[in-house]
Amino acid sequence: MLCLSLFVFQLKTYEETMSLNRTVVTEFLLLGFSTSPERQILLFVAVLAVYMVTVVGNLLIILVTLLDSTLHTSMYFFLSNLSALEVGYTSVTVPKMLLSLISGDKRISFTSCAVQMFFFLCFGITESSFLATMAYDRYVAICNPLFYPMIMNKKVCVLLAATSWTIGIPAQAVQTSLVFTLPFCSSKKINHFFCDSAPLLLLACADTSMNETLTYMVVAFFGMVPFALILLSYIRIIATIIKMTSVEGKRKIFSTCSSHLIVVALFYGSGIILYLQPRSSEFPDSGKLLSLFYTVLPAMLNPFIYSLRNREIQTALRRHMWNKLFPCYS
């Protein structure tokens, strides 16, 4: 809360300072995708369908893991948190994009732009942290099964989840404040479909080297460190699998871990390409497409990757659907 208060205070300070020198930037224009009206309708339908699948699929996982007592384990606790995160992550950017596509109104206020960027970057750090936490959970379950209940007890799981949700707030409060206290005097047109640091820095008429350095530092620490922990966890997991003699045990572990690795590959692969590429004088359409992929695709695929390959969730879904449709036979 202290970081959020500081963030809002700095935004107000920026507006008061800029009003003394030049016209205050009160809103931006999100240019989005430069397509024809017909293609924009197709894009609206496609993105809306993906968004609906994302929200419904992830909410279904949350409900099932909450209602079914057999899924009250650390693995499904983290999975339900990840699903809640995916709903929030996509809801930060996609609804505004859909509204712009259908209405043609591309305006976004200065404060709304800052808030959107803050939460988008915070949720990105949170997802990175949750993926590392889930990898550690699988490592303990597979490599230290006898101590698993003691190590991953309820208190530890809640602490890890709370840390994942809040770890990015201080860094992003600082990063977002530094971006939105820059003087924007060249243009109000953001060549993107949401407020992100890279296209916003292109509008600044001041030195942005500190902002760019901070972005690389944040990506390196909150992206590369969790990624390294994930790699270490799976190196140990693979070493344990090799030593196993049970074919069925190997198959079950591979099925569980492969789902997590697919999500990790989608998230980190697109994120690294997007945020570690050299800065150019403009933000190309390829960057927008990659951002769209990074924003919506992993979140949409999350329910399918984890649910369709998981017999416990499949069984729980069938059981609860049967109870709702045929309560007399439950």
Q: What is the pLDDT of residues 163-196, one digit of tens each?
A: 999 999 998 999 999 999 888 876 788 888 899 8
Percent of the chain whose predicted confidence (pLDDT) is above 90: 32
Burial degree of 184 (CB within 10 A; 0-12, 13-18, 19+): buried
Q: What is the mean pLDDT of the chain?
A: 81
Locate 311 and state its tokens.
């017999």
The phi, psi pair for 278, rounded to 5°, reads: -60, 145
pTM of the model: 0.83
Question: Rounded to a whole number, what is the distance in angstroms from the first to the last CA of the chain?
Answer: 46
Provide the pLDDT for residue 22: 45
* Nearest CA-CA partner of 283 in 185, 197, 220: 197
Q: Where are the alpha helices (DSSP H) in the chain?
A: 2-21, 37-67, 74-103, 110-143, 148-151, 154-166, 169-180, 197-201, 209-219, 225-243, 247-275, 285-307, 311-325
230-271 pLDDT, tens per residue?
A: 999 999 988 888 888 777 777 777 777 777 788 888 888 777
All residues at 6 or more sequence positions from 316 whose CB lies less than 8 Å from its CB, including other chains: 64, 67, 68, 70, 71
- What ranges do the domains of the chain cover? 29-277+311-319
CATH number of 29-277+311-319: 1.20.1070.10
